[in-house]
Amino acid sequence: MKPNTAFRLSVLLSGLLASVAPPAAAADNIVVFDWAGYEDPAFHPTYTEKFGGEPDFSFFGDEEEAFQKLRSGFTADLAHPCSQSVSKWRDAGLLEPLDTAKLANWNDVLPGIKAMKGLMTAEDGTAYFLPFEWGNTVLTYRTDTVKPEDVTSLKAFADPKFKDRVSIGDNVDDAYALASLAIGVKDWTKLTDEQFKQASDFLRAVHQNVRLYWTDNTDLSQAMAGGEVDLAWAWNETATTLAVDGVPVAMKKDTAEGISTWVCGYVRLKGAAGSEEQQYGFLNAITDPAVSSYMVESWGYGHSNGKGMAAVDAKTLADKGFDDIDKFTTNTLFQSPMPTELRQRMIAEFEKIKSGY
């Protein structure tokens, strides 16, 4: 779901080209429809070793764009949606079932992720989604300009003292995760009409403070490093990469209302022309336990493989906040699959909010 800044120059060009036309894939290669940055070879070394080369990648900017392109006839073998979109893609008939007997790491997915209703399997038990990475959207702030006592609550995003100093994602899911938490809701699939209005009103108050709606980690990191933004609703990656660059930032994971947790992964697409062996080879490569340490250390995200996460250096897990995963996810809103009608309503309302209505 989240592109890494280490690839920002190369993937920007690749993404622009991919938005015009799909790559000319070799006849014997698979096409992965992905977020820019996830073509990183360190995520699938066993695939490269087994098949002697990289898959072909095509990129999307957000899941709604990906959904519309697939509905319009764009073809690929695999794609990388996130938890809140799985039901929509499945209901639209875009997905092929997964043969779990061919997934070497299916049974090693973290229990907390397996427990997310409607994520990995449909109501009839058919598998469609293989989790890959997970992370949080969390209050992130500049420690040199913001006092910790001023950000004990997510309501800080609507505090007039931060006017023109706030950034949240141009992403309906993260936006309504923030708003839901702010009004005390941790299961957004059960939002009542009144709660939806309260959440939307909160986002309208936040809009008054927004300096920019970021579209990827590069946008936000540059704004925070340059001093344009003091307070952000950001992914784990932002603080991880900024800290490496020496920018004084911190994540506030213990706000009164909590944090949001998202899960992204891979699906097989209908109409795929590539080798099924290569498709499953890629799925097994990205969920290999050996990938876990790289995911945590370099991206600041958690890996779906429980055995792999358990093998990561204890200090590294502690530094990233993953030392007690069960405790870590207790006070969180999981961005679980939601009714399509509710998500469409959020999309329409968020566009109004960003336009000042």
Which ranges of the chain does DSSP label H, i.e. alpha helix?
8-20, 45-51, 63-71, 86-91, 111-114, 172-182, 193-207, 217-225, 236-244, 276-286, 292-294, 306-311, 314-320, 325-328, 340-354
pLDDT digits (tens, 9 = 90+) for 246-286: 999 999 988 999 889 889 999 999 999 999 999 999 999 99
Confidence of residue 328 (pLDDT cuts 50, 70, 90): low
What tokens were used for 30?
A: 């698979």
What is the pLDDT confidence band of residue 11, given thresholds at 50, 70 and 90? very low
pLDDT value, residue 114: 87
Please, what are the domains in the chain? 5-132+263-324 (3.40.190.10), 135-260+336-354 (3.40.190.10)
pLDDT for res 351: 96
Share of the chain above pLDDT 70, in %: 90
pLDDT level of residue 61 (50, 70, 90 thresholds): confident
Residue pair 272/279 in contact by the 8 Å Cβ criterion: yes
Residues 55-66, mean pLDDT to the nearest whole number = 91
Angle at 280 between CA 134 and CA 101, to 5 degrees: 90
Burial class (CB in 10 A: 0-12, 13-18, 19+), 101: exposed
Query: Which pLDDT value is given to residue 325?
Result: 66
Instruction: Give the model's pLDDT for residue 8.
Output: 36
Better-predicted residue by pLDDT, 75 or 15: 75
* Mean pLDDT calculated for residue range 143-161: 97
Task: Report the pLDDT averaged over residues 316-334.
Answer: 73
Q: State the pLDDT at residue 9.
A: 34
- Count CB atoms within 10 A of the CB of residue 52: 7
**294: pLDDT strictly greater than 50:** yes
The label of the residue with tokens 């799909």 reads 22
**Three-state SS for 102?**
helix
Q: How far apart are CA 99 and CA 18, in angstroms?
A: 29
Q: Which amino acid is residue 266, in one-letter code?
A: Y
Q: Tell me the pTM.
A: 0.79
Q: What residues contact residue 66 under an 8 Å CB cut-off, 6+ apart?
A: 33, 60, 79, 81
Mean pLDDT of the chain: 89
For CA atoms 101, 111, 259, 345, give the dihedral sign: positive
Question: Of the candidates 277, 239, 291, 8, which has an alpha carbon nearest to the alpha carbon of residue 132?
Answer: 291
Note the pLDDT of residue 25: 41
The least confident of 100-104, 128-132, 329-333 is: 329-333
What are 183-223's pLDDT values in tens digits?
999 999 889 999 999 999 999 999 999 999 998 888 899 99
Q: How far apart are CA 226 and CA 36, in angstroms?
A: 23
| 327 vs 291, residue with greater confidence | 291
Span 164-172, average pLDDT = 95
Confidence of residue 22 (pLDDT cuts 50, 70, 90): very low
Q: Is the pLDDT of residue 295 over 70?
A: yes
Q: What is the pLDDT of residue 26?
A: 44
